[in-house]
Amino acid sequence: MIIVGIDTGGTFTDLVLWRDGSIRTHKVLSTPAAPEQAILHGIAELGLDPVGLNVIHGSTVATNAVLEGKGVRTLYVANRGLGDLLTIGRQARPDLYDLQPPARLPPVPSELCVETGGRLGADGRWVEPLTAADLDALKATLARLAPKSVAINLLFSYLDDSAERALEDAMPEGLFVARSSEVLPLVGEYERGIATWINARIGPIVARYIGRLADGLSGARVSVMQSSGEAVTANQAARHTARLLLSGPAGGLAGAAFAAAQTGCPRLLTFDMGGTSTDVAVVDGEPRLTTDGHIAGFPVALPMVDMHTIGAGGGSIARLDAGGMLLVGPESAGADPGPACYDRGGREATVTDANLVLGRLDPNGFLGGRMRLNPDAAHAALERLGRALGLSAEEAALGVIRLADEHMARALRVISVQRGLDPRDFILTSFGGAGALHVCALAEALGMTRALVPVHAGVLSALGMLVTPAGRTLTRTRLGLLAEAGDAEIEAALVALAESGIAELGQEGVARAALRVERSLDLRYRGQSHTLNLHWAGVEDTAAAFHAQHRDRYGHRLDLPVELVNLRVRVRGPIPDLALPSIGASGRGGPTGSSTAYGCPTPVACWTREDLGQGHELVGPAIIADALATTWLAPGWRADLDAVGNLMLQRAVGRKP
């Protein structure tokens, strides 16, 4: 069996090849203008024939299109009187005390908002049926405005999708159409409308990208990671692009959970630090999901891994603001020109340049020696920054690192402390190309004493693709009091919802007997707006679990009826049976050299991970490099490798952060 997991990042594209029980990793510079080119280039460098290849990849095409405001000309179709729904939104102010909030353009220009009939009431009865005249008027509007895609969002379409289907059938052949009743059949017309509009606006872009990739990998089976952590075939992914917004990060969490499970470490605080951004999350056995995500300021109510993202990465640019204060990120040097030390024309100081100036990176060992860094270029960039601050290049570099660390520590507190979780109960797990350079400092900032740098940490998101099952996460609104619904009615509705996912996976060749089905309900007290998600265990037991979870989350329970809002079903195929190979007890020797690290009185030994055998303890300060990433083992920390090559870090007892 030959499987290739691929993660396309802003700076690098990572590939992990699994063949006959062995793993091979590879990294190439990304090609943002045409992401498939880096993938095809990497597969060619691995010497692989696409025919018969199983490719699972995480794509940033959908994410970048939304973040950069790119998309095709999209017509938004709503009921009469509701054409400006997406512009009005929830009337929520992101910054409550900002008296002069910046003006924001409406998602859809008014000339592209079209109103029609087909309006349902909350009881499922027609308030204004869709007529032939409505369809004729829509066809005329399409001919006049010539959109590239259409988003249809009618009120209460999750109760009856016949009007939306009739509108879709009236569209010209070849036009990309997204229906809210298919994209997100849930209560909440604004959130449902945003998801549908995003799906329609970026759908043609993602479809073209997937088409180019499929053409380049003719004969291969191509799947794409969804934001919820399951793989979907490429042709299905092209129809449901809004489900791909956290495609790459979901792979990282899957990889972290897989690597940690090999060592018996189920509770993790993770941070994935790449060249452009850092994603932080909690993994408690498996990644948590949320339906309250946001991207580019828009709510995304589709299931996705629960994480927090900030603009701090290895390529984050350090600069001074108008008042002379040091800033790091969110702007990034990316892959082209990249940090100054890449010697590709970049002149601005970045986090990677700062680590190199501080002696925490071996310029000859970057990417396993395949890419040499230019220390002089990095020093010159930090010297220019330091001159403006009245500091030396090394002092400026230390300031850049400390500021970047504080950005990431704050993000880790958001997903732990602010949610009632004590970071000390978890193991800090770093991955991504730049994460292990900062793991000790972040652990100290959070009062943590243990950290983990997984094997293949520099390509862990790509590794996560290999252990991702095919699957679907399905949702549907079913409003009513829980007690009045009854076990039989809810059970039947959940079975029907699961069957649609089982049928889709059957078309992908996944046998019914191999599928796992998880069922849950979104519940709230009558009169509340927000819900809690509970595993389905019958009406009585599920209601009791809701009361208990509400008390744990909010400190109280209410003497009110429990209301059922949404049904949720997760259908997943078998997890690929892969295991990390054992590294053996003996390493290959001693350090490969030394580095003069700023703040350390003596030269710091440079090791490769392969030089350390299982159980070989190393005391910081030290630099540990592998083919894809570098770990800075700070003073006061020690490290050893476990049986499969994960680097286990422990802070010395009594050392203060």
Kindly report the number of other CB atoms within 10 A of residue 22's CB atom: 8
Over 60: is that where the pLDDT of 496 sits?
Answer: yes
d(CA 350, CA 330): 11
Provide the pLDDT for residue 653.
61
> Which SS3 state, helix, strand or coil, does residue 325 take?
coil
For 569-594, write each residue's pLDDT tens digit: 999 998 887 877 777 666 666 788 88
Residue type, 570: R
Confidence of residue 456 (pLDDT cuts 50, 70, 90): confident
Over 50: is that where the pLDDT of 657 sits?
Answer: no
Confidence of residue 541 (pLDDT cuts 50, 70, 90): very high
Share of the chain above pLDDT 90, in %: 50
> Which SS3 state, helix, strand or coil, does residue 582 take?
coil
Strongest mean pLDDT among 102-111, 137-146, 460-469: 137-146
Non-local (6+) Cβ contacts of 117 within 8 A are 79, 80, 128, 129, 130, 131, 134, 163
**Is the alpha carbon torsion for 550, 303, 460, 400 positive or negative?**
negative
Select from 463, 439, 408, 460 the least CA-distant residue to 624.
439
Q: What average pLDDT does the chain have?
A: 88
| 199, containing H or E segment | helix 189-216
Give mean pLDDT, residues 248-258.
86
Residue with token string 């252990």 = 467
Task: Give the β-pairing of 267-273 and 427-431.
Answer: parallel
Residue 514 near residue 574, CB atoms below 8 Å: yes
**Is the alpha carbon torsion for 344, 349, 350, 353 positive or negative?**
positive
Provide the pLDDT for residue 656.
47
Provide the pLDDT for residue 101.
81
Write b or e for each residue in 577-598: b if 16 or more Cβ atoms lie within 10 A of its Cβ, otherwise e: eeebeebeeebeeebbeebebe
At the topology level of CATH, where does 71-93+101-201 sit?
Rossmann fold (3.40.50)
For 127-169, write each residue's pLDDT tens digit: 999 999 999 999 999 999 999 999 999 999 999 999 999 999 9
Provide the pLDDT for residue 578.
81
Share of the chain above pLDDT 70, in %: 97
d(CA 384, CA 393): 8
Confidence of residue 335 (pLDDT cuts 50, 70, 90): low
d(CA 451, CA 631): 12
Give mean pLDDT, residues 26-37.
86
Provide the pLDDT for residue 526.
94
Taking only Cα atoms into account, the Rg of the chain, rounded to an integer number of angstroms, comes to 26
For the chain, the domains span 71-93+101-201, 471-572
d(CA 544, CA 558): 12
- How distant is the alpha carbon of residue 563 from its chain centre? 31
Instruction: Note every long-range contact of 262-265, with CB atoms under 8 Å and residues 24 or more positions apart, other chains counting.
Output: 262/579, 262/580, 262/642, 262/643, 262/644, 262/646, 263/452, 263/642, 263/643, 263/644, 263/646, 263/648, 265/427, 265/429, 265/452
Instruction: Note every long-range contact of 43-47, with CB atoms under 8 Å and residues 24 or more positions apart, other chains counting.
Output: 43/4, 43/15, 43/217, 46/4, 46/15, 46/17
Residue with token string 């998309």 = 71
Q: 58-62, 70-74, 94-98, 611-615: lowest mean pLDDT where?
A: 611-615
For 37-86, write each residue's pLDDT tens digit: 999 999 999 999 999 889 999 887 888 788 778 899 999 999 999 999 99
d(CA 264, CA 267): 9
* Global pTM exceeds 0.95: no
Over 80: is that where the pLDDT of 282 sits?
Answer: yes
Select from 403, 457, 93, 419 the least CA-distant residue to 270.
457
Over 70: is that where the pLDDT of 655 sits?
Answer: no
DSSP string, 231-282: EEEHHHHHH-GGGGTTHHHHHHHHHHHHHHHTTT--EEEEEEE-SS-EEEEE
User: Interior CA angle at 137 toward 135 and 143, to 5°?
Assistant: 105
